[in-house]
Every structure is written in structure tokens, then in C-alpha cells.
Amino acid sequence: METGPDLTARSILAGEASAAAAEVEAALSTSPDPTAAAFFDVDNTVVRGASIFHLARGLYDQDFFSARDLLRFTWQQLYFRLAGSERPAHVADARESALALITGHRVADLAVLSEGIFDEFIANRVWPGTRALAQMHLDAGQRVWLVTATPVEVARIIAARLGLSGALGTVAESIDGVYTGRLVGEILHGPAKAVAVQRLAEAEGLDLARCSAYSDSSNDIPMLELVGDAWAINPDLGLRRVARERGWHVRDYRTGRRAARIGVVAAAGTGAAIGATVAGVAYARRSGQKKVPVRWASRR
């Protein structure tokens, strides 16, 4: 089993790799307010549900992997997300199941397919309230970055589709344009996000005291603590409590939800999403339907 220090070292490496991958994009853009920026978590902050599940569903439709792989992935990711655990074994399971999605495939193919996956599964799940907050920063002349455990190639597509500046995401190793099945460091999760934001701020001359960060999860408290303007969006119980204690902004775009029920409902929602995916696979297998590839690359 992996030790805590090993996991911490890889988390630092993951954050540094993500910031390095984003620097190229950042260098190509200018901003009227170059020392301030906003950082947005994606899952349940910008997008309802987990973007990695939408990615898995889309890639399965494109025959990237088998139904058995999809089932294994969904249950491992469900456990990781509902447990909210930083235990090395749980992180390792989530890492391995996520890597199974892309190992042996071309980076360019994932980027192209991700455009269609966004249009098909993600675009209509963007929270309008969070989108308005991001636009507020853009209108103020600040850059806006997504910060997510989703593969950086997918995160960039989401950012581009939303008109944002760029994305910090999990960096998967590739050789000659093909994914090797290894990560550079670790999944961009928890403390790794804070490292990525800090390294990007250093490289781009950002004043973190003038920056903002947005998240739904208590796992992202290290990132929220870095900035001068922290926001809890659709927060879980842990983050809601910390936000109240520290006077952070709180916005909840979920209707009809009381604080005492948030954790239970969020878990049920994630379970329902996975249940729908598994049910779809089961139906396809029972009916003997053949998946028809969608020509997403031609969509604009």
C-alpha cells in the first residue's frame, strides 16, 4: 500500500505538471487585470454531476472500452467520490480506473471526441449561476481557469466551450501522442489543486490575495484558502460549515435542499447517475444493440 508521504509527493508533482501544461495557454493571452484571476472547480460547481462520468459514457459510446470496464470504473469512482477520502488506496483505485479509459489511445483522438462529449452530455448541465460568476470575472478583465481532476485535454475543451481562459487538470503521460497508462504525479485532487494554482500564480505574476476560487467540496479547502476571495458553490456539509466559520461566500443553486439533507441528496444524485449508466449498458447487452459511432468530429 502507498504511504502518505509518497502520495503527497505525487500530489505536488501533479499540481506542478498541471500548472506547467497550462502555462503555454496562459502565455498566449493577455488580460486588462493581469494580477487577478478566478479558479473554478468543475464537478458540481460549474457542471451538475461528475464530468468524468460524462466522459466515460461518451467514450464507451465510441468503443474506447468494454461494458465490463465501464462498470468497474463507475463503481470505483463512486466509492472514491462518496467517501471523499484522501486515503492512498482509495486514490490509487480511482487513478487506475480512470487511466483505463484512455490507455493506448491517442491524445488527439480524446481531444476531438471530448468536443462532442461536451455538446452531447455536459453543455446542458452547466449551472447558469456559476456561469454568470465566471462571466463577471471575464467582464472585469480577469482570466478564469478551471481546476479539475478531469484529464487536462478534456478540461481545456470545457473551458474553451465556455469561453474561459484555460484549465488546470490531471496530466496523463503520453509517448508519441499515445497515452501510456501512467499519470504525471497523481490525480489533480485536493492538495494537488492548491499546488497547481500556486505554481500558476507564481509563473503568471498573480496576486493570490486578489484572486477568487470556487468549489463545492471540502476536499478543495486547500485551494480556497490560497485566495483572498473564497466561494462555496453548492457546498457539501463540510465546506458549508467551514465557509460559515470563515465568512466565505456561499451560493447554492440547487432548489429545495436544506443543509441537513445536502450530503444525502448529493450521494443519491451521484448514485442515480451511475445507476443510469449501468442500466444503459445492461439494456444494450440484453437487446444486442450495436453501438453506432457518432461523428462528433464534424459537429460545430
What is the reported pLDDT for 1?
A: 34
* Whether residue 133 has pLDDT greater than 90: yes
Given the residues 43, 93, 109, 220, select the one marked as catalytic: 43
What does 251-299 look like in DSSP terms, one character per residue?
E--STT--GGGHHHHHHHHHHHHHHHHHHHHHHHHHHTPPPPPP-GGG-
Which domains are present in the chain?
A: 4-50+127-171+182-288 (3.40.50.1000)
Q: What is the pLDDT of residues 9-56, one digit of tens each?
A: 777 777 777 877 775 454 445 678 999 999 999 999 999 988 888 888
Exposure string of 91-129, with b = 16+ CB inside 10 Å and e = fewer, is: bbbbbebbbbbbbebebebbeebbbbbbbbbbeeebbee
Size (the chain), residues: 300
The one catalytic residue among 41, 61, 93, 109: 41
Interval 44-74: pLDDT, tens: 999 998 888 888 888 888 777 777 777 766 7
Averaged pLDDT, 102-114: 87
Q: Is residue 164 within 8 Å of 126, Cβ to Cβ?
A: no
Q: Are 240 and 262 in contact (CB under 8 A)?
A: yes
Residue 134 has pLDDT above 80, yes or no: yes
pTM of the model: 0.79
| DSSP symbols for the chain | ---HHHHHHHHHHHHHHHHHHHHHHHHT---SSTT-EEEE--BTTTBSS-HHHHHHHHHHHTTSS-HHHHHHHHHHHHHHHHHT---HHHHHHHHHHHHTTTTTSBHHHHHHHHHHHIIIIIGGGB-HHHHHHHHHHHHTT-EEEEEEEEEHHHHHHHHHHTT-SEEEEEPEEEETTEEEEEESSS-S-THHHHHHHHHHHHHHT--GGG-EEEES-GGGHHHHHHSSEEEEES--HHHHHHHHHHT-EEE--STT--GGGHHHHHHHHHHHHHHHHHHHHHHHHHHTPPPPPP-GGG--
Q: What is the mean pLDDT of residues 239-258?
A: 89
Q: Name the residue with higher pLDDT: 181 or 244.
A: 244
Distance CA 55, CA 253 (A): 23
How high is the pLDDT of residue 104? 86
- Between 275 and 97, the more confident residue is 97
Place 262 in a pLDDT band, splitting at 50, 70 and 90. Answer: very low
In this prediction, residue 287 has a pLDDT band, given cuts at 50, 70 and 90, of very low
pLDDT tens per residue, range 162-207 = 999 999 998 888 999 999 988 887 889 889 999 999 999 999 999 9
pLDDT grade, residue 296 (50/70/90)?
very low
Residue 212 CA to residue 134 CA, distance in Å, equals 10
Phi, psi of 181 (to 5 degrees): 95, 10
> What does each C-alpha distance from 165 to 30, 31, 81, 216, 251 come to in angstroms?
10, 10, 27, 21, 23
Q: What is the mean pLDDT of the chain?
A: 78
At 279 the pLDDT is 42
93: annotated active-site residue: no
CB contact burial 234-245 (16+ within 10 A = b; e otherwise) = bbbeebbebbee
Q: Give the C-alpha separation, 197 to 26, whole Å.
A: 13
Q: What pLDDT, on the 0 to 100 scale, is given for residue 281?
A: 44
The residue with greater pLDDT, 271 or 208, is 208
| Average pLDDT for 113-137 | 94
Q: Higher confidence at residue 211 or residue 269?
A: 211
Query: Is pLDDT at 267 greater than 90 in this prediction?
Result: no
